[in-house]
């Protein structure tokens, strides 16, 4: 199988390294980490360290058609890179979307009153939808946690599951083939009949704990066990759960179970907190903003989410933009 992985951050590099070590033909598309990764990708974990040597390029036009294109960039970067994917697409190429939060394709290949709807917070001006045929998309939910302490080095913290699924719920050969490749690489890769429901299970926690952690610098367990912060997280999750239910999704996890799960994770920094510490833009719109946009469309009040989102947006601006004066 030929894989192109667009976005060689911690998750993309981790995925690419493991697939390469399993014998797959992998090309990482990198930017700032390009030179370091050409010398190899080091993956460190509790089991030790391994080094992989996938191909690395900064120009997707040099790769040619592949079987699977993994999109592992942050959601806010998709509008910029979507028009560059074309040279990697052959007649049967599948695009595996592995972003956090609500994906831009959520209402594609879906029946109901909102079928084909586009959220401006995710796909401003429709750039992504225009560049990517929804028939090519395989949904993917990323569960591993990893960091990149230095260029070319991935620290795998926990998790080994990538859940995948067709947007229409069917089980296809391209999903089965992808699952086999990921399992061979050492991952768990279940094919899910309702990828959107699984998405909401992860999102309920992310949309609350990520921005709160960015604002407070607190870990998961600190938020979950703090009386006031924990109550805010629960209220935000309840608001998001109301949106999911209005869309016909029954999330099979209670809010208490989600809080208990966050407490069990322990002193783990969320991806949004890591981005704040690194001075990187926050993935706010896909994780929080899109849920708010849906709440507005569905006339669901979301006061807690709105306040936390506004504060996190201001933090994002202050963190990533140079001070004036």
The residues carrying an active-site annotation are 202
Cα angle value 80/84/87 (rounded, 5°): 170
Contact present, 112 and 248 (Cβ < 8 Å): yes
Closest CA to 244 of 202, 276, 190: 202
Residue 215, sorted as left (phi over 0), alpha (psi -120 to 50) or beta, turns out to be alpha
Per the structure block, which two tokens stand in for 163?
A: 């859940």
Q: Which helix (H) or strand (E) holds 19?
A: helix 10-21
CA neighbor of 72 nearest in space, from 8, 155, 118? 8
The alpha carbon dihedral of 163, 167, 171, 174 has a sign of: negative
Chain centre distance of CA 118: 18
User: Which residue carries 């208990």 as its tokens?
Assistant: 260
CB atoms within 10 A of CB 184: 15
Cβ-based neighbours of 319, under 8 Å, separated by 6 or more? 276, 279, 282
Alpha-carbon distance 212 to 208, whole Å? 6
How far are the Cα atoms of 25, 80, 91, 93, 243 from residue 65, in angstroms, in the given order? Answer: 12, 20, 9, 7, 39
- Which H or E run includes 181? helix 173-184
């Amino acid at each position: 199988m030929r894989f192109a992985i667009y976005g060689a951050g911690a998750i993309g590099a981790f995925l690419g390294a493991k697939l390469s070590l399993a014998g797959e033909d992998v090309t990482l598309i990198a930017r700032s980490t390009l030179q370091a990764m050409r010398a190899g990708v080091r993956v460190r974990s509790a089991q030790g360290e391994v080094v992989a040597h996938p191909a690395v390029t900064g120009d997707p036009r040099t790769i040619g058609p592949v079987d699977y294109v993994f999109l592992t960039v942050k959601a806010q970067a998709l509008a910029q890179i979507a028009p560059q994917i074309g040279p990697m697409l052959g007649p049967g190429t599948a695009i595996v979307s592995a972003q956090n939060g609500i994906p831009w394709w959520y209402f594609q290949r879906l029946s109901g009153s909102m079928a084909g709807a586009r959220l401006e917070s995710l796909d401003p001006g429709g750039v992504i939808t225009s560049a990517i045929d929804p028939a090519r998309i395989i949904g993917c939910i990323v569960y591993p946690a990893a960091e990149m302490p230095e260029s070319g080095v991935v620290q795998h913290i926990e998790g080994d599951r990538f859940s995948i699924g067709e947007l229409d719920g069917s089980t296809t050969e391209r999903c089965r083939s992808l699952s086999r490749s990921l399992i061979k690489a050492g991952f768990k890769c279940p094919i899910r009949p309702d990828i959107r429901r699984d998405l909401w299970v992860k999102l309920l926690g992310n949309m609350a704990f990520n921005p709160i952690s960015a604002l407070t610098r607190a870990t998961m367990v600190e938020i979950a066990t703090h009386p006031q912060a924990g109550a805010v997280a629960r209220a935000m999750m309840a608001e998001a759960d109301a949106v999911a239910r209005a869309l016909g999704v029954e999330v099979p996890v209670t809010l208490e179970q989600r809080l208990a799960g966050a407490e069990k994770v322990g002193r783990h920094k969320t991806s949004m907190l890591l981005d704040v510490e690194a001075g990187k833009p926050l993935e706010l719109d896909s994780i929080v903003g899109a849920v708010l946009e849906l709440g507005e469309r569905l006339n669901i009040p979301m006061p807690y989410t709105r306040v936390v989102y506004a504060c996190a947006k201001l933090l994002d601006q202050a963190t990533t933009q140079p001070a004036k004066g």
